[in-house]
Amino acid sequence: MNTTLSRRKVLGGITAAVVGWSAASQSWATAAEVSGGASVAPVPTLDGTLTTSAADLDRFRQDFGRLKGSAPWAVLRPGSDRDIARMVCYARTNGLKIAVNGQGGTGTDQESHSVYGQASVPAGGISIDARARSRIIRIDSTSAVVEAGVTWGQLTDAALRSGLTPPALPDYMHLSIGGTLSIGGIGGTVQKYGLLCDTVQSLDVVTGNGDLLTVSPSSCADLFDSVLSGGGQTAIILRAKVRLVPAPERSVVFSLFYDDLATYLADSEKVMAENRFHIQAGETLRRPDDSGWRYKMEVAANYSGGAVPDRARLLSGLRDSRAEAVIEDIGYRDYMFRLDGYEAYLKESGHWYQPKPWLSLFLPASKTRTFMEIVERELTAADLGGGFLLFYPYYTRKVTRPLAVQPAEPVGYLFDLLRFPDPGETGIRAMLDQNRRLYDKAVAMGGKRYLVGAVPGMTRADWKAHFGARWDGFCRAKRRYDPSNVLTPGQGFFGGEAG
């Protein structure tokens, strides 16, 4: 490792004259301390910056969930791949932890969109600011190469200029691509394309050994498989080659309401099996008079030019409450960015900034009804606040990445309890406990958790059970590619409590 000091590059703020890490005092040392005889491991020469100013550290203290707070000891804004490789080696040599922080969002609200400290470095360490690596490198007719800090929204806008789109997108577009691929990524085309990470063709990464590698299903496949949906455990994603497909111009969006769970489930699986729509989602919501739960299937048929979808044919045989159906014909981009208006509303109302104990699960179809009946008995309007509960089917075989573990049935249901508690809500701890209870019930029924979300008290044994037959291979990859266990401690898979 080149340990030439470059004080100019390391200075990140007026209080950040850091020149190296002092193992003795477990703190960064300044030039004055070094000249006073302190023994430090000098920070390597960087093309970007490493900052330790209090303001910078504070900005990385918490994530979107606002449930866990832990400021890093330094923030790396890498100017090159080499910076990341060097700082990984530096972390390794000096017993520090290091993790990428997605830093997506809109306006001045840039942060990790984890909700339970998954991107944090709980015992102190170095956060890598993903925004420093956010260039779109190339777009051709079937794929894009992007740096990990690019958001899905930025990629979509760039691809649309060429008449293209990523086939799989999250509902919220302002998430970093690196962060989303590290946990899987799901949206309303999962029935056809799988998770977002299923649309990745290759990756450039830095392993926990500091090695720069290009990985794909045919090159270092074990590393490729352990990075996608692997929670940042074996390597840091620098760039991803993501599939693109021709973009439609418009979407006809159908919101169909159901009062009865069994009918909602049957119709949801029917339209999926018949491949009627391009996009399929759905949610459970309170009845307008708050007397219980009802269901909304949200499905969309895309089109371009004059090939307008036949609405009557698309709706034939469905048993929704038709008088309440809402049908809109909107531009494809507007539909993809549909949560922007909701985000603005939640910011205005203050919900956006509350603690958010989310729970995200994958349920086996055969147990979904029983599970939902339990949930509906427990859950109140206050448990959702300004949020919602996504709940829709997909084919588990479409999820191909080994670490995105799935229920052992052909059809799974996404259960995504996206709570936005009302400002002043005092029951956050009870919501976390409820998450744990519901998680345990789901597991007993053959469910799996999605890596996002807040499930307290996850132990190594819980994670071992979660990954099941994939656990041993995952541990092997961890030992091979991150033998000093420096990468992404906030996931807590290999010890320590985390999301």
Minimum distance, C-beta of residue 488 to ligand FAD, in the bound complex (Å): 5
Q: CA of 102: how far to CAs of 3, 57, 438, in Å?
A: 28, 15, 28
Residue from 213, 236, 300, 417 that binds ligand FAD (CB under 6 A)?
A: 236
Selected from 125, 153, 187, 210, the binder of ligand FAD by CB under 6 A is 187
Which CB atom, from 174 or from 294, has the smaller least distance to ligand FAD? 174
Contact with ligand FAD (CB under 6 A) among 22, 52, 62, 114? 114
Q: Which is nearer to ligand FAD, 22 or 176 (CB)?
A: 176
Smallest gap from Cβ 58 to ligand FAD, in A, equals: 17
Cβ proximity to ligand FAD, 143 vs 182, nearer residue = 182
492: left (phi over 0), alpha (psi -120 to 50) or beta: left
**Residues 121 to 140: which contact ligand FAD by CB under 6 A?**
130
Binding test (CB under 6 A) with ligand FAD, winner from 94, 118, 207, 280: 118
Q: In the complex, what is the shortest distance from the CB of residue 260 to ligand FAD, in angstroms, rounded to a whole number?
A: 27
Q: Is 170 in the site for ligand FAD (CB under 6 A)?
A: yes
Q: Which is nearer to ligand FAD, 64 or 295 (CB)?
A: 64
- The whole-angstrom separation of Cα 158 and Cα 137 is 11
Stretch that binds ligand FAD, among 22-30, 87-95, 114-122, 454-462 (CB under 6 A): 114-122
Cβ closest to ligand FAD, residue 237 vs residue 318: 237
Site for ligand FAD in 445-464 (CB under 6 A): 452
Among 112, 229, 354, 435, binds ligand FAD (CB under 6 A): 112
- Looking at residues 75 to 104 of the shown chain, list those that interact with ligand FAD (rule: CB under 6 A): 99-102, 104
Q: Which of 148, 247, 442, 477 binds ligand FAD (CB under 6 A)?
A: 148
- By Cβ distance, which residue is nearest to ligand FAD? 179
Least distance to ligand FAD, CB of residue 433, Å: 21
Nearest residue (CB) to ligand FAD, 62 versus 101:
101
- Which listed residue (176, 191, 199, 226) binds ligand FAD by CB under 6 A? 176
Cβ proximity to ligand FAD, 406 vs 491, nearer residue? 491
Residue with smaller CB distance to ligand FAD, 183 or 244 = 183
Query: Contact between 232 and ligand FAD (CB under 6 A)?
Result: yes
Q: Which of 51, 154, 165, 182 binds ligand FAD (CB under 6 A)?
A: 182
Least distance from ligand FAD to the Cβ atom of residue 499, Å:
9
Convert the chain into a string of H (helix), E (strand) and C (coil).
CCCCCCHHHHCCCCCCCEEEEECCCCEEEEHHHHHCCCCCEECCCCCCEEECCHHHHHHCCECCCCCCECCCCEEEECCCHHHHHHHHHHHHHHCCCEEEECCEEECCEEECCCCCCCCCCCCCCEEEEHHHCCCEEEECCCEEEEECCCEHHHHHHHHHCCCEECCCCCCCCCCEHHHHHHHCCCCCCHHHHCCHHHHEEEEEEEECCCCEEEEECCECHHHHHHHCCCCCCCEEEEEEEEECEECCCEEEEEEEEECCHHHHHHHHHHHHHCCCCCEEEEEEEECCCCCCEEEEEEEEEEECCCCCCCHHHHHCCCCCCHHHCEEEEEEHHHHHCCHHHHHHHHHHHCHHHCCCCCEEEEEEHHHHHHHHHHHHHHCCHHHHECCEEEEEEEEHHHCCCCCCCCCCCCEEEEEEEECECCCCCCCHHHHHHHHHHHHHHHHHCCCEECCCCCCCCCCHHHHHHHHHHHHHHHHHHHHHHCCCCCECHHHCCCCCCCC
Measure the CA–CA gap between 348 and 204, rounded to whole angstroms: 39
Nearest approach in angstroms of CB 23 to ligand FAD is 24
Count of residues near ligand FAD by CB under 6 A? 34
Q: Footprint of ligand FAD on this chain (CB under 6 A)?
A: 64, 99-102, 104, 112-114, 118-119, 130, 148, 170-172, 175-176, 178-180, 182-183, 185-187, 231-232, 236-237, 452, 488, 490-491
